Amino acid sequence: MPVRTIADRYELTEEIGSGGMGTIWRGYDSVLDREVAVKAIRPDMLLSPEHIADLAERFRREARVTARIQHHGVPQVYDAVLAADSADRLYLVMQYIEGRNLRSYIDPADPPPIAWAAAIGAQIATVLSHAHAIPVVHRDLKPDNVLVTDDGTVKVLDFGIAAILRRGITRITVTGSPMGTSRYMSPEQVNAAQVTPQSDLYALGCVLHELLSGTPVFNGGSQYELWKQHITADPEPLRGLRPDVPPELEELVLDLLAKKPEQRPADAYAVYERLLPFLPPPGSPVLATSRRLGEMPDPTLLYRQPNAPRRRTRRQPPVPAPATVPHAPTAPPTRLRDAIDDALKLSTELLGADRFAQAADVVKAVIGPAARMLGSESPDLLKLRFHRALILFLGGDSRTALPEFDALANAYARTAGPSSVRVLESRRYAAHCRANLGQNTVALDQFRRLLYDVATADSHASELALDIRYSIGMLLLSAGDKAAAENVFESLYQDHLVINGPSDERTREIAGLLTRIRLPPSP
């Protein structure tokens, strides 16, 4: 599919969502080499074409307001674009977030632990407190607009339809038409009355009720019935649906679902305070009561380990999904071959522009289909994986590249022999990755074993051996073993003099290193 570029900068690569306001795309910022989410607003869904200029101004205003919500629970807004080549396209460029929406964790047969749900609610309340202080009302808070990332951080999405609570600001909605989702709309929204921060608190009550019980607050068969229930019906208390819900938490949810805004909690901070007793204190052990918890992110981590370092276990799996056959019996079919060639060509072009993240993703996109069709250790698949690992390494992502180079060394040893060029290259880059990650002792040992194998197969003076010996010397120097480093560099310098001559860049670099090593210590 051809890539569409807007503002000569943002490349739209994959549609990842759609709604009444338009479509959401995954894309890339070609200037900063990072993934972005681009919301394409369709004005025709809101106003007639003659109002494009007015809509564009209000769109920019709301983008600016959303950008003012400075909290990690709201995706950052990077840019707002009115496409120069089309008068009916508006784009909001935002931070790209990976995660699952909250609806995927709603299950009446296995509701999440109380602390898990309370942590979700507390994080949402925190985001709302920052938004309401501007003031901005979300208006459409629901499980589908709440994203839970792998580390348990909650992201509240789609503040794009928020309205500034100031007089004189025209709303995008048509006057008299309720805005929101029927299952989570406050009575005042149903009545198209004044919407306030308390309207978001009502929606939060709907979300908490559904998360804790697995069922919505109201189940009207039609939109009209749902609206009527929100206005007149009493919600069923949570403890009638789930007896282990603490009475105080049930009371909080009922207060959030009060029909009159003034009967609800005073603000989002008050909601947060009432959720605190259900959150695990700092230093408490990992939550473990649900049979699904091992597959779920942990939103309590924020409270159990405040401001904790990034977890060591967060790493992309090094090997693609197992293929149906271990080896490819035939060459790739034409369509796949073209896709592989295109991926390699495009990624190489992106690499030349220092767009490492996008280059790696271009290759990754074709690795899955290649693995399924050709086998997990076909030459073409291994070539793709090596190419991607090298891009990751060159882009500075040694943490992700390391397990892939280790896996590639093993795969190439099985398919091409333990002394093949690709095995030696994979081992060398794996050692470089370990050195970059500060694993100097392990990296030094890996380089030494690699040098032995390379010298056995060729010589100590081969191009690969010279590079490995240089790396060994640098690691020794980093470890403070100047004597050993000097021995390595002196021998390496003599070989470079013979092979490349005194004017060679690497020869002169090693000479400079030896001079610095031999300088007497400062008094």
Q: For 18-31, what is the HEC assignment?
A: EECCEEEEEEEECC
Confidence of residue 324 (pLDDT cuts 50, 70, 90): very low
Angle, CA of 132, 310 and 304, to the nearest 5°: 65
Q: What is the pLDDT of residue 319?
A: 46
| C-alpha span between 89 and 188 (Å, rounded) | 32
Alpha helix stretches (DSSP H) within 214-296: 223-232, 238-241, 247-256, 268-275
Contact 91, 41 (CB under 8 A): yes
Q: Compute the average pLDDT of residues 336-351.
A: 92
From the list 385, 365, 370, the residue with the least C-alpha distance to 333 is 370
The pair of three-digit structure tokens given for residue 240, joined into one six-digit string:
């009638």
Q: What is the DSSP letter of 331?
A: P
| C-alpha span between 346 and 340 (Å, rounded) | 10
How high is the mean pLDDT of the chain?
Answer: 85
Size of the chain, expressed as the number of residues it contains: 523
Confidence of residue 495 (pLDDT cuts 50, 70, 90): very high
The pair of three-digit structure tokens given for residue 417, joined into one six-digit string:
């022999």
- Cα dihedral 18/22/26/31 (nearest 10): -170
Condensed to tens digits (0 to 9), the pLDDT of residues 25-83 reads 999 999 999 999 998 876 555 455 555 666 666 667 667 777 888 899 999 888 888 76
Contact 256, 264 (CB under 8 A): yes
Looking at per-residue confidence, does 428 or 456 come out higher?
Answer: 428
- Cα dihedral 402/339/29/56 (nearest 10): -150
Q: What is the pLDDT of residue 511?
A: 94
From the list 109, 129, 127, 105, the residue with the least C-alpha distance to 117 is 105
Domains, the chain? 4-95 (3.30.200.20), 100-304 (1.10.510.10), 334-518 (1.25.40.10)
Task: Decide if pLDDT at 328 tops 60.
Answer: no
Phi and psi at 14, nearest 5°, equal -155, 130
Please, which residues have CB within 8 angstroms of residue 276's CB and are 6 or more apart in sequence? 122
| C-alpha span between 288 and 301 (Å, rounded) | 12
Task: Decide if pLDDT at 332 tops 80.
Answer: no
Condensed to tens digits (0 to 9), the pLDDT of residues 112-170 reads 999 999 999 999 999 999 999 888 889 889 999 999 998 899 999 887 554 433 333 33
Which helix (H) or strand (E) segment holds residue 330: the answer is none
| C-alpha span between 185 and 139 (Å, rounded) | 8
Task: Decide if pLDDT at 315 tops 80.
Answer: no
| C-alpha span between 285 and 426 (Å, rounded) | 40
Condensed to tens digits (0 to 9), the pLDDT of residues 255-269 reads 999 999 999 999 999
At 44 the three-state DSSP class reads helix
| C-alpha span between 489 and 474 (Å, rounded) | 9
Catalytic residue status for 140: yes
Looking at per-residue confidence, does 325 or 372 come out higher?
Answer: 372
Residue 350: how many other CB atoms lie within 10 Å: 22
Among residues 33, 88, 140, 338, the one annotated as catalytic is 140
Return the sign of the alpha-carbon dihedral for residues 269, 274, 278, 281: positive
Q: What is the pLDDT of residue 160?
A: 57
Tell me the residue type at 380: D
| C-alpha span between 27 and 78 (Å, rounded) | 13
With a pLDDT cut of 90, the percent of the chain lying above it is 58
Looking at per-residue confidence, does 306 or 209 come out higher?
Answer: 209
At 35 the three-state DSSP class reads strand
Angle, CA of 423, 428 and 431, to the nearest 5°: 125
Condensed to tens digits (0 to 9), the pLDDT of residues 381-439 reads 999 999 999 999 999 889 999 999 999 999 999 999 999 999 999 999 999 999 998 89
Which helix (H) or strand (E) segment holds residue 15: the answer is strand 10-19
| C-alpha span between 171 and 217 (Å, rounded) | 28
Strands 163-164 and 154-156: unpaired
Contact 406, 427 (CB under 8 A): no
Residue 179: how many other CB atoms lie within 10 Å: 17
Q: Compute the average pLDDT of residues 169-178.
A: 42
**Largest Cα–Cα separation, the chain:** 92
| Percent helix / strand / coil, the chain, rounded to 5 | 55, 10, 35
pTM to 2 decimal places: 0.71
Half-sphere exposure of 446 (CA within 13 A, CB side): 22
Phi and psi at 77, nearest 5°, equal -95, 120
Matching residue, tokens 């010589």: 459
Q: What is the DSSP letter of 320?
A: P
Angle, CA of 36, 41 and 43, to the nearest 5°: 165
Confidence of residue 211 (pLDDT cuts 50, 70, 90): very high
